[in-house]
Amino acid sequence: MLDKTWQKMYEEAKSVQGFRQISDHLEAGGVAAAFLSNTGKIYTGVCIDTACTLGVCAERNALFSMTTCGENHFKRVLAIMSNGKNGAPCGACREFMVQLMEKDYKNIEVLMDYDREEITTLGKLTPDWWL
């Protein structure tokens, strides 16, 4: 069984998720993410999709909030896709996470499947980072 922290992260991400049409060219909330910082705080974010591809993924949105609040390090991440299932962060998000956590990224836990309790690491998802 996943520990209480994973469960809380999942619940907090689920609470901010919810598709909403903001304008004719912008929608948000289809994907939600949660990060556990090294201080134990959970940061969430949702995707913002635009017609011109200037949107941002839920993972980076949550990391922007974490950074805005003065934190730079995290231990865990999960994303809930629009179909309600978990999935791996996209390549752009992986790259952003690795650059943020260059020295410790290999040990960051990533929840791949909440129902099956499948967890991997950012190091396994990004084994040969370019730096």
Question: Domain containing 12 — which CATH number?
Answer: 3.40.140.10
The number of residues in the chain equals 131
pTM of the predicted structure, to 2 decimals: 0.95
Of 130 and 63, the structure prediction assigns the larger pLDDT to: 63
Q: Residue 71 — pLDDT band, cuts 50, 70, 90? A: very high
Mean pLDDT of 7-33: 97
Q: In sequence order, which residues have a C-beta less than 8 Å from that of residue 86 and are 6 or more positions away?
A: 78, 79, 80, 111, 112, 113, 114
Is position 95 within any domain? Answer: yes
What are the distances in angstroms from CA 111 to CA 35, 48, 70, 115?
Answer: 11, 21, 24, 10
Instruction: Clarify whether 59 is annotated catalytic.
Output: yes
pLDDT of residue 30: 97
| Catalytic residue from among 59, 102, 109, 117 | 59
Does residue 131 lie within any of the structural domains?
Answer: no
> How many domains, the chain?
1
Cα-based torsion angle of the residue sequence 86, 90, 94, 97 in order, rounded to the nearest 10 degrees: -70
Q: In the predicted model, what is the mean pLDDT of residues 101-122?
A: 96
Q: Please tell me the distance from the alpha carbon of residue 37 to that of residue 115, in angstroms, as a whole number.
A: 23
